Amino acid sequence: MTSLTWTAVCPLDAIPLEGGVAALVDGSAVAVFRTHDGAVFAIGNVDPFSGASVLSRGIVGNRGDAPVVSSPMYKQAFDLRTGQCLDDDSVRVPTYEVSVVDGVVHVGGAG
Amino acid sequence: MVTGKRQRIVVVGHGMVGHRFAQAAVERGLTETHDVLVVGEEPRAAYDRVALTSWFGHPDGAEGLSLLPGGEYDDPRVRLVLDSVVTEVDRDARTVTVVSPPSAAGDLLADPGAVTVHEYDVLVLATGAAPFVPPVEGRGKAGCFVYRTIEDLEAIRTASETATSGVVIGGGLLGLEAANALVQLGLDTHVVEMAPRLMPVQLDAAAGSTLVRHVERLGVKVHTGVVTEEILGDEQVTGVRLADREIETQVVVFSAGIRPRDALARECDLEVAPRGGVLVDEQCRTSDPHVFAIGECAAPGGTMYGLVAPGYAMAEVVVDALLDGPGTFTGADMSTKLKLLGVDVASFGDAFAATDGALELTYSDAVAGIYKKLVVSEDGTRLLGGILVGDASAYGVLRPMVSSGIALPDNPEQLILPASSGVQLGMPDEAQVCSCNDVTKADILHAVAEQGCEDVAAVKQCTRAGSTCGSCVATVKNIIEDHFASVGKVVDKGLCEHFRLTRQELFDVVAVHGYRRFDDIVEAHGTGRGCDICKPAIASILASQTSTHILEPATAELQDTNDKYLGNIQRNGTYSVVPRIPGGEITPEKLIVIGEVARDFGLYTKITGGQRIDLFGARMEQLPVIWKRLVDAGFESGHAYGKSLRTVKSCVGSTWCRYGVQDSVGLAIALELRYRGLRSPHKLKGGVSGCARECAEARGKDFGVIATEKGWNLYVGGNGGATPAHARLLAGDLDTATLVAYLDRFLMYYVRTADRLQRTSTWIDQLEGGLDRVREVVVEDSLGLGAELEAEMARHVGGYEDEWRATLEDPSKLERFVSFVNAPGTPDPTIAFTTERDQIQPIAPALIPVGAPA
């Protein structure tokens, strides 16, 4: 954790509730989401099924206990906490540390 | 059989049975080795004669009855020749002589029609039957008709225009159908039956008199036990003289039974049965092994069968025989269930208790007009047959009990008493549910359990059950529901894990409570935080009920991928842009603007199937600038991204086309502008053709309009795609105002009640009552919803705004259109293009390895 470099991404309220934005963190595209309870999550923006950098544009909701985003391309759901694809056990996207400081969202290097 | 050389089959007759033969030949692979030539005498391809009377419900509705709407088979090895008569069969040479009609324009002497001779290896006679006209004096007078073909009906309709009264001679099944037609034509209708009761073949005296009471309540006068002695009048019918009275009438319809059309067989010396019909064996082979006969012209074992189901069975048997299969036809279940003049009538098995020692159990309620009779075996253990009038709901359970011979319960009367619990009795798997297409309960269960069919529409498509006369649809539905209940599967019509409600229920809930936010809806009627299924569905419902921009904060995050960015996402994450080109009409100036925009932004350009232009490869952040150029030039969003109206395609119409009879382009533009932006359960497409040539392919659309000399015909429920469907006639010869009113109602009814992602064709199929139901609601306004539906559409039309322009005018809506929130100037590095045929093409982004480190 100590080696993490944090990138300030945007003000918290620039991320719509139950929506996402794409950010550039150390040259990687990261999707940053805000769930209904106000929690912020960051995962890789690239949809592993299409290769397109689009996950931030997906619909945010829940599947059971898991907060999820569904890919706008082929609709697979990804657990925002772990990056695990809930429709294919073998697929997972990277997750990133997030912290909100003074109303600004910061994303850490790949966690 | 000769191998290596293709065999030739000639089918004489293209009625329901001839059609079924051709269909089965294609489906079972017979056409892999055989060429099939079908020669039909009528000017149109096979149609549903069983539903003939419904033709009056929709004028110009011959297409609606068609069994082969395109007029040709998908398999090129089956050739259909219509309007042609087989005049001779030469069994030695194995040829048939076909006379085709003279060309419509030429005169008969100069052009007597083409005579062609065709060789056959196999000849199939499917010439059907002809109405029997009893030798009554005066039967040739003008105003006398039979009831068999669409042409007959057309003639009856024309005659009825100047008539006040009509008489049907014959009180059997068909006679009552004909009476129904005369009632619909507004005639004072009489039925004359020689036997002492109506439907003497199917009903006993008590059932017959119950039926008479029903029929008379509808204003039909019934004369039973009387002989028609003379048709009165000079050249034109003026009345009918019965033994004891005269009836004044201008229209007489003979419906006194049918006779096999076996003349062709007689002329070539094939054996015929004593009471008519080509004599055939159990494989439907005639006395000549190269010739088969099927349907009403055939007499297997000497008996002809005047129902469609045995005809279908014979068609299948012959296809089977030609494939060296074991199928045989050994007689048919002559059970009948139908709705005559709105009255349920059924007769099955040994309805007259002809079996030795058979006992009868009857229930009758004269007030309600219900009569039910069961015929049971002497020992009371087996059901032999029965008759039901006024309430035939038990038919689905009772008839299979006859054929399967399962044991009767101890109190068999429970089966026919009102509110009977006995109807819950299980039906054996081998019980035939659809007699028209010989589908058993086991077939239906197989379709449900093994082939993934979940509803009636799917089972229909898979098994054909319920697709002919439709009388078994309720039974099919029960079987499906019972099955799911028995395997413990809750037949869950709910949208997803967050909502137990169907889309229709959600639509109503939103309308009643006036909800505008997802949060309120999910709190009151659902659980959790939604998903990619319920959120877009609710977004669509809200958009249908309000005219609020879909990217307002309350609904922006509910929108599906494409709606969220007002463009169509492509495989590399770029978007395509489609400006509206109403009706496909565009000025050169505007065309140039599209070209300039495409050139300046380097977009791949392609003409769409909906008569517009698609510009591909726009990065998300480029969308607003592209829209601005287009909007400034007078374009607006084409909603290619939405589950909403896409285009209304048109042909060039009467303004230019020398065949056009109406201005199809003008109407298409008006309709496209009227319904643009309407959010619906699935995408919606329309088409308008300026004449019957149908160049706009309107019947491949959710709503299709085809010009007639008198106005417009409106077709609904068509689509292309994986499961193509031809639109069917909803109403004919409409003026433009009525057409628009019907369309308003139809579209709003669909938007209100369809399931999510359900196109109009499947929606219509799963509605109880199907297209008839739609017609009741839209045309007849039976629910009294018409004005409300039109008002909803008026609200939509009044509240329309261009989504692109509105987005450009609102900076807060533009915020989402950036590549990276913290680096708006950096384009997405995964997007790259190569060049192919002088245009860009996406390079597939390198797929990252799965299971990347967490």
111 residues of chain A, pLDDT tens digit each: 445 789 999 999 999 999 999 999 999 999 999 999 999 999 999 999 999 999 999 999 999 999 999 999 999 999 999 999 998 889 999 999 999 999 999 999 754
Question: Is B698 in the same domain as B756?
Answer: yes
Considering CB atoms only, which of B556, B569, B820 is closest to A73? B569
Q: Nearest by CB to B532, from A16, A75, A91: name it.
A: A75
pLDDT score, position B118: 94
Confidence tier at B565 by pLDDT (50, 70, 90): very high
pLDDT at B771: 92
**What is the per-residue pLDDT across B100-156, written as a single tens digit (0 to 9) for each?**
875 544 455 555 678 889 999 999 999 999 999 988 999 989 999 999 888 898 899
Q: Which residues of A touch B844 (CB under 8 A)?
A: 51
Q: Do A70 and B571 touch (CB under 8 A)?
A: no
Cα B701 to Cα B47: distance, rounded to the nearest angstrom: 22
Q: Compare B477 and B17 and report the one with higher pLDDT.
A: B17
Alpha-carbon distance B509 to B773, whole Å? 23
Q: What is the pTM of this model?
A: 0.58
The pLDDT value given to residue B66: 85
- Token reading at B463: 């098994």
Q: Which residue has the higher pLDDT, B625 or B766?
A: B625
What does the pLDDT read at residue B57? 63
On chain A, the residues whose CB falls within 8 A of the CB of B529 are 18, 35-36, 60-62, 67
Residue B103: the pLDDT is: 53
- Best interface-test mutation with A: which of B498, B499, B532 has the largest number of A CBs within 10 A? B532
Pairing of strands B291-293, B122-125: parallel
Domains of chain A, start order: 6-110 (2.102.10.10)
Tell me, yes or no, whether B13 and B112 share the same domain.
Answer: yes
Gap from A5 CA to chain B (nearest CA, Å): 16
Which of A34, A59, A80, A105 is the best residue to mutate to test the B interface, defined by the most B CB atoms within 10 Å of its own CB?
A59
Q: Which of B114, B174, B492 is nearest to B307 (CA)?
A: B174
Binned at pLDDT 50, 70 and 90, residue B61 comes out as: low
**Contact call for residues B117 and B74 (beta carbons, < 8 A):** no
Residue A54 with chain B: CB contacts under 8 Å: 569, 573
Q: Taking all residues of chain B, what is their mean pLDDT, rounded to a whole number?
A: 88
Inside any domain, residue B813: no
Looking at beta carbons, which residues of chain A come within 8 Å of B495?
none
Phi-psi region of B733 (alpha: psi -120 to 50; beta: other; left: phi over 0): left
Q: Residue B629: which CATH number?
A: 3.30.70
Chain B residue with CA closest to A7: the answer is B822
Contacts of B530 in chain A (CB under 8 A): 18, 59, 61-62
Indicate if B658 and B780 belong to the same structural domain. Answer: yes
Number of domains in chain B: 7
Smallest CA–CA separation between B813 and chain A, in Å?
12
Residues B90, B205, single domain; the answer is: no
- As a whole-number percent, the residues of chain B with pLDDT over 70 amount to 94
Is residue B852's pLDDT more than 50? no
Distance of residue B817 Cα from the nearest chain A Cα, in angstroms = 10
CA distance B709 to B660: 10
Which residues on chain B are in Cβ contact (under 8 Å) with A83? 854
| Per-residue pLDDT at B643 | 95
Same domain, B692 and B714: yes
Same domain? B480 vs B540: no
CATH number at residue B402: 3.30.390.30
Residue B322 pLDDT > 60, yes or no?
A: yes
**Shared-domain flag, residues B636 and B779:** no
Average of per-residue pLDDT across B790-799: 93
Chain A interface test: which of B576, B819, B821 (most A C-beta within 10 Å):
B821
Give mean pLDDT, residues B488-510. 83
Which residue type does B768 have? E
Looking at the structure, tell me whether residues B654 and B766 fall in a common domain: yes
Give residue-wise pLDDT tens across range B186-222.
899 999 999 999 998 889 999 998 999 888 888 899 9
Cβ-defined contact of B822 to A10 (cutoff 8 Å): yes
Locate B88 and state its tokens.
Answer: 């001779």
Map residue B476 onto helix, strand or coil.
helix
Euclidean distance between CA atoms A107 and A15, whole angstroms: 13
Could you give the ipTM of this predicted complex?
Answer: 0.95
The two structure tokens encoding residue A55: 């996950």
DSSP B700: G
Q: What is the CATH number of the domain that holds B79?
A: 3.50.50.60
**Alpha carbon distance B401, B344 (integer Å):** 20
From the list B532, B565, B826, the residue facing A70 with the nearest CB is B532
- Report whether pLDDT(B363) > 60: yes
Is residue B472 pLDDT above 90, yes or no? Answer: no
Q: Which residues of A touch B561 (CB under 8 A)?
A: 57-58, 72-73
CA-nearest residue of chain A to B573? A52
Q: In this structure, are B637 and B652 located in the same domain?
A: no
DSSP B145: E
The values of phi and psi at residue B95, to 5°, are -135, 155
Angle at B594 between CA B588 and CA B600, to 5 degrees: 130
| Banded pLDDT at B3 (limits 50, 70, 90) | low
CA–CA dist B41, B80 (Å, integer) = 11
Residue B495 within any structural domain of the chain: no
Contacts of B459 (CB under 8 A, 6+ apart): B444, B447, B448, B453, B465, B466, B476, B480
Chain A: give the shortest CA distance to residue B625, in Å.
Answer: 20
Interface-testing mutation among A24, A55, A69, with chain B (most B C-beta atoms within 10 A)? A24
Q: Which residue of B has its CA nearest to A96?
A: B854
For residue A59, give the nearest of B626, B678, B680, B496 by alpha carbon: B496
Shortest distance between the Cα of B374 and any Cα of chain A, in A, equals 55
Q: How far, in Å, CA of A99 to CA of A108, rounded?
A: 8
Q: Output the six-digit token pair for B512.
A: 């009643």
CB contact under 8 A, A48 and B821: no
| pLDDT confidence of residue B844 | 81
Are residues B568 and B578 in contact, defined by beta-carbon separation less than 8 angstroms? Answer: yes
With respect to residue B1, please indicate whether it lies within any of the assigned structural domains.
no
Contact of B681 with B755, CB cutoff 8 Å: yes
CA distance linking residue B716 with residue B698, whole number of Å: 9
Give the closest-approach CA distance of B722 to chain A in angstroms: 18
Q: Is residue B810 part of a domain?
A: no
Query: Which pLDDT does position B368 carry in this prediction?
Result: 78
Interface of B with A (CB under 8 A): 497-498, 528-532, 534-536, 553, 556-558, 560-561, 564-565, 569, 571-573, 620, 815, 819-823, 826, 828-831, 844-848, 850-854
Contact B125, B136 (CB under 8 A): no
**Best CA proximity match to B258, nearest among B103, B151, B127:** B127
Strand partners, B706: B689, B713
How many beta carbons lie within 10 A of that of residue B666, not counting itself? Answer: 18
pLDDT the model gives residue B666: 96
Residues B227 and B300 in one domain: no
A10/B532 Cβ within 8 A? no
Residues in chain A within 8 Å Cβ distance of B565: 57
Domain hosting B287: range is 7-129+260-322
pLDDT (tens digit per residue) in B566-581: 999 999 999 999 999 9
> Does any domain span residue B648?
yes
